[in-house]
Amino acid sequence: MIKRILLCAIACITFTTAMADEGMWLPSLIKERIKVMRKKGFRLKADDVYSDRKASLKDAVMQFGGGCTGEFVSAEGLLLTNHHCGYASIQKLSSVEHDYLTDGYWAKSRAEELHVPGLTISILERMEDVTDRIAAGESKESIIEQAKQGKGCRASIESMYYGNQHYLFVYRVYNDVRLVGAPPSSIGKFGGDTDNWIWPRHTGDFSMFRVYADANNEPADYSTDNIPYRPKRYFPISTKGVEEGDFTMIYGFPGNTQEYVTADAVEYVAEISNPMKIALRTIRLDIISEAQSKDVATRIAYAAKHANIANAWKKWEGESLGLERLGTADKKRAYEKNFAAWAADKPQYTTLIDSMHAAYKKAIPGYFARELFNETIAGIEVYNFAAWLVAQHSKGEKLTADVQVIGRQYYLKDYRAQIDKTIATHMIAEFIKRMPVENIPQELTAAIENYGGVESFVENLYNQTQLITKYPLTTEEILNDPMVQFATWFVPQVNKNREYAYRNLSNVPTIEKWYKEYMQALREWDKERAFYPDANFTLRVAYGTICGYENADGEYHTHLTTLDGIMAKDNPEIYDYNIPQVLRDIHAEKDYGRWGIEKNGKQTIPVCFLANNHTSGGNSGSPVINGKGELVGINFDRTWRSTMSDIEFDPSICRNISVDIRYVLFVIDRIGDASYLFNEMDLK
Ligand code: ARG
Ligand code: GLU
């Protein structure tokens, strides 16, 4: 018994000490954290953060597009988010004559604000714990239906703690959203993929939009009659800056963490999934980079694709290194052993760990096959077009010229057949090498044999297909096309993949059902641990302090970067580091006006800062708020060595990266010449 208590105590210590600023908290429960927050320097009350009766900070926060966060900064619907969150919208509005991605864009009046078709923002009206209602027999559908009242209302029920709790979220979705301003990519994407996930960082990663509504402030389709939306609350902006040790809070929509998973899940990520995905993406990125280095048009055409593939690739590398450094899998094994010892005399939990272990064993092959397929075959661009045509046809859609246009625009955008073919050759070879034989379509094996190898098979495939070269095609031509045939060979695999199409391996239903019990049991057993639900794209609060960190032995990284760091990286020869001439001029003349700060006895401009808030993908664009509830920055990244925080948060090293709001204001004023926007903002 004593041994058991001791073991438990050791386990608890490992986890509680690691808990300093860990956590993504549900705003409606923030009263449970407010004491700690106030100790760290927060001055507002719990119902200033979240209330469904009066205006609170949550009314100033929104989900921007599908996967980012944004925040209101004026009473007239003006909002800030990241440049990389607005990127697709800015690209959509750009043309060769008006290249807003390269040159930036600033509306000089409301009339010049540009509507972005398809862009929506969602504001949370309220959230409610509906666990008891569901337990009492109400159906989720009827709860959602009852909740959906008013124009543009969206409601959903999200599970927390693997189905132990259910929360209803009710949003208002606005779809008249207009671009107000964006810096040139040389500022908004400064450092590109080279600096992505890296500190010291110098990216001005912000863009501005405005939400429009009808005369009643309700959602309405785009119309020139619409007027700026009036949010219940917006953020005042601090121009005073941040100091090491200052309180910060992040309010946003993090997408996916898995802090409670067992060692089996960690080992799957660290030893099987990440290494496979990293190796395959390295091959794809090398092929794309090589082609890009030879031709400027190709560099531009494949820029966004490269950025997308590289973003997760680099994150997984950091994550695997982090998990290894922390020994997360071993720690979890020890934790589970102690748990099992405690559970030994609790009939309902005795076999739980064993059941979970067995469930993982059973689900891993299917999940792995799906991931491998996604990273190989589904990495072939024209395959995706072919597979889409096959899916349309089997749904009974006519493959008209118009339908073909839609597919071509989506799947063959900025397309280079030569790059795709090289990728296809490598990806098919890797697929065959890595996939268990029973999952390899026999038609594929036969065809490769027939052509005497993958290379000539692919050569022939690309020579024969008309999907790339001819438009429109007759239905017959499509169905007989060799690329379409190739796609049909994978239909059984694609169908099977659906059974495993969950956020993480742990969310596959045959595994997740055990987590429901495991979470219950952990909360009974590990009383010291502060539990918060894993991120699932619902609104969360994270809090912490502004701080640097020791990056390597004896190498401390301070919390703030400045314009001088941009100048040190500036290089007209390197695309990612070629800043606008006006910024060089401003720096040469030290002409900083009201935006200058003193650092090491010299005048400069603040650019980015670090803090130890627990954030994840989806927190991009989140407001960074000081103790007074004022906006001091916009969150956009984590440091590379932080990325394992989706599985284990290490307070000594995990840092989120934000663009300093003073840099945002400086760029609006001095690069965008749009300081008229300050009139509607509340600058403190
Ligand atoms: N790493 C950040 C995030 O996960 C920024 C990504 C966009 N920037 C880029 N260079 N790809 O989304
Ligand atoms: N850049 C990420 C996003 O788009 C945020 C960085 C992170 O994963 O922490 O949400």
pLDDT the model gives residue 18 = 34
Q: Rounded to an integer, what distance in angstroms lies between the CA atom of residue 141 and that of residue 145?
A: 6
Q: DSSP string of 248-286?
A: EEEEE------TT--HHHHHIIIIIIHHHHHHHHHHHHH
Q: Which of 17-31, 117-131, 416-430, 552-566 has the lowest mean pLDDT?
A: 17-31
Q: Rounded to an integer, what distance in angstroms lies between the CA atom of residue 543 and that of residue 40?
A: 9
Average pLDDT, the chain: 95
Q: Rounded to an integer, what distance in angstroms lies between the CA atom of residue 353 and that of residue 337?
A: 9
pLDDT the model gives residue 19 = 41
Greatest alpha-carbon pair distance for the chain in Å reads 77
Q: Is the pLDDT of residue 172 over 50?
A: yes
The structure tokens listed for 365 are 């092959």
How far, in Å, is the centroid of ligand 2 from the Cα of 637? 5
pLDDT tier at 15 (50, 70, 90 boundaries)? very low
Q: Which atom of ligand 2 is closest in space to residue 315's alpha carbon?
A: 8
Percent of the chain scoring above 90 in pLDDT: 93
Q: Is the pLDDT of residue 642 over 80?
A: yes
pLDDT the model gives residue 537 = 97
pLDDT the model gives residue 94 = 86
Q: Which atom of ligand 1 is closest in space to residue 307's alpha carbon?
A: 11
For the residues 58-73, what does the mean pLDDT come to? 97
Q: Is the pLDDT of residue 9 over 50?
A: no
Helix (H) or strand (E) holding 13: helix 2-17
Q: Are 436 and 462 in contact (CB under 8 A)?
A: no
Q: Which atom of ligand 2 is closest in space to residue 615's alpha carbon?
A: 9
How far, in Å, is the centroid of ligand 2 from the Cα of 28? 23
Residues near 394 by beta carbon (within 8 Å), at least 6 away in sequence = none
124 bridge partner residues? 171
pLDDT tier at 91 (50, 70, 90 boundaries)? confident
Q: Are 660 and 169 in contact (CB under 8 A)?
A: no
Q: How many CB atoms lie within 10 A of CB 528?
A: 12
Helix (H) or strand (E) holding 625: strand 623-625
The structure tokens listed for 44 are 């507002």
How far, in Å, is the centroid of ligand 1 from the Cα of 233? 29
How far, in Å, is the centroid of ligand 1 from the Cα of 199? 13
pLDDT tier at 95 (50, 70, 90 boundaries)? confident
169 or 574: whose pLDDT is higher? 169
Percent of the chain scoring above 70 in pLDDT: 97
For the residues 469-485, what does the mean pLDDT come to? 97
pLDDT tier at 141 (50, 70, 90 boundaries)? very high
Question: Which active-site residues does the annotation give?
Answer: 84, 205, 620
Q: Are 605 and 287 in contact (CB under 8 A)?
A: no
Which listed ligand is nearest to 637 at the C-alpha? 2
What is the chain's length?
684
Helices assigned H by DSSP within 50-139: 83-93, 100-103, 131-135
CA distances from 541 to 174, 238, 619, 660 (A): 23, 20, 10, 19
Burial class, 187, CB count within 10 angstroms (exposed 0-12 / middle 13-18 / buried 19+): buried
The structure tokens listed for 370 are 């799906």
Q: Is the pLDDT of residue 377 over 60?
A: yes
Q: Rounded to an integer, what distance in angstroms lies between the CA atom of residue 47 and that of residue 233?
A: 13
For the residues 328-356, what does the mean pLDDT come to? 97
Q: Considering only CA atoms, which of 26, 260, 60, 267 is closest in space to residue 128?
A: 26
Q: Which atom of ligand 2 is closest in space to residue 616's alpha carbon?
A: 9
- Per residue in 235-293, pLDDT (tens digit) is 999 999 999 999 999 999 999 999 999 999 999 999 999 999 999 999 999 999 999 99
How far, in Å, is the centroid of ligand 1 from the Cα of 35? 34
Burial class, 514, CB count within 10 angstroms (exposed 0-12 / middle 13-18 / buried 19+): buried
The structure tokens listed for 630 are 């004022």
For the residues 161-184, what does the mean pLDDT come to? 98
Helix (H) or strand (E) holding 115: strand 114-115
Residue with tokens 């049991």: 521
For the residues 66-93, what does the mean pLDDT come to? 95
CA 356-358-359 angle, to 5 degrees, is: 65
Q: Whose CA is nearest to atom 2 of ligand 2?
A: 617
The DSSP code for 202 is -
How far, in Å, is the centroid of ligand 1 from the Cα of 294? 25
545 bridge partner residues? 247
Q: Whose CA is nearest to atom 4 of ligand 2?
A: 620
The structure tokens listed for 374 are 């996604």
How far, in Å, is the centroid of ligand 1 from the Cα of 84? 7
Q: Whose CA is nearest to atom 11 of ligand 1?
A: 307
- Per residue in 486-528, pLDDT (tens digit) is 999 999 999 999 999 999 999 999 999 999 999 999 999 999 9
61-64 and 121-129: which strand pairing? antiparallel
Task: Encode burial over 86-101: b for 16+ CB neighbours within 10 A, e otherwise.
Answer: bbebbeebeeeeebbb
Burial class, 1, CB count within 10 angstroms (exposed 0-12 / middle 13-18 / buried 19+): exposed
Q: Considering only CA atoms, which of 660, 611, 671 is closest in space to residue 240?
A: 660
pLDDT the model gives residue 296 = 84
Amino acid at 673: D
Crossing angle for the helix pair 417-434 and 454-464, nearest 10 degrees?
A: 140
Q: Rounded to an integer, what distance in angstroms lies between the CA atom of residue 314 and that of residue 278?
A: 8
Q: Are 193 and 201 in contact (CB under 8 A)?
A: no
Question: 84, 302, 656: which to mutate for ligand 1, most atoms within 8 A of CB?
Answer: 84
Q: Which atom of ligand 1 is closest in space to residue 638's alpha carbon?
A: 1
Question: 624, 636, 645: which to mutate for ligand 2, most atoms within 8 A of CB?
Answer: 636
Q: Which atom of ligand 1 is closest in space to residue 311's alpha carbon?
A: 11
Q: Rounded to an integer, what distance in angstroms lies between the CA atom of residue 56 and that of residue 541?
A: 13
- Per residue in 290-339, pLDDT (tens digit) is 999 999 889 888 988 998 999 999 999 999 999 999 999 999 999 999 99
Q: Rounded to an integer, what distance in angstroms lies between the CA atom of residue 500 and that of residue 512?
A: 12
578 or 12: whose pLDDT is higher? 578
Q: Is the pLDDT of residue 383 over 60?
A: yes
Q: Rounded to an integer, what distance in angstroms lies between the CA atom of residue 168 and that of residue 170?
A: 7
Q: Whose CA is nearest to atom 3 of ligand 1?
A: 637
pLDDT the model gives residue 66 = 87
pLDDT tier at 20 (50, 70, 90 boundaries)? low
pLDDT the model gives residue 14 = 39
pLDDT tier at 131 (50, 70, 90 boundaries)? very high
Q: Rounded to an integer, what distance in angstroms lies between the CA atom of residue 51 and that of residue 155?
A: 18
Q: Are 54 and 66 in contact (CB under 8 A)?
A: no
The structure tokens listed for 367 are 């999940």
Q: Is the pLDDT of residue 576 over 60?
A: yes
Helix (H) or strand (E) holding 556: strand 555-557
Q: Whose CA is nearest to atom 6 of ligand 2?
A: 637
For the residues 643-662, what does the mean pLDDT come to? 97
Q: Is the pLDDT of residue 17 over 60?
A: no
pLDDT the model gives residue 16 = 36
Q: Rounded to an integer, what distance in angstroms lies between the CA atom of residue 267 and that of residue 310?
A: 23
Name the 3-class secondary structure at 416. coil
Amino acid at 73: V
Torsion of Cα atoms, 155 then 160 then 165 then 166, to 10°: 10
**Residue ranges around ligand 1 (CB below 6 Å):** 84, 192-193, 196-197, 307, 311, 617, 620, 637
- Per residue in 446-467, pLDDT (tens digit) is 999 999 999 999 999 999 999 9
pLDDT the model gives residue 541 = 98
Which listed ligand is nearest to 304 at the C-alpha? 1
105 bridge partner residues? 182
Question: 82, 196, 289, 656: which to mutate for ligand 1, most atoms within 8 A of CB?
Answer: 196
**Residue ranges around ligand 2 (CB below 6 Å):** 615-620, 636-638
- Per residue in 195-225, pLDDT (tens digit) is 999 999 999 999 999 999 999 999 999 999 9
How far, in Å, is the centroid of ligand 2 from the Cα of 22? 17
How far, in Å, is the centroid of ligand 2 from the Cα of 54? 30
Q: Which atom of ligand 2 is closest in space to residue 656's alpha carbon?
A: 9
The structure tokens listed for 196 are 């992505």
Q: Rounded to an integer, what distance in angstroms lies between the CA atom of residue 533 and that of residue 540?
A: 10
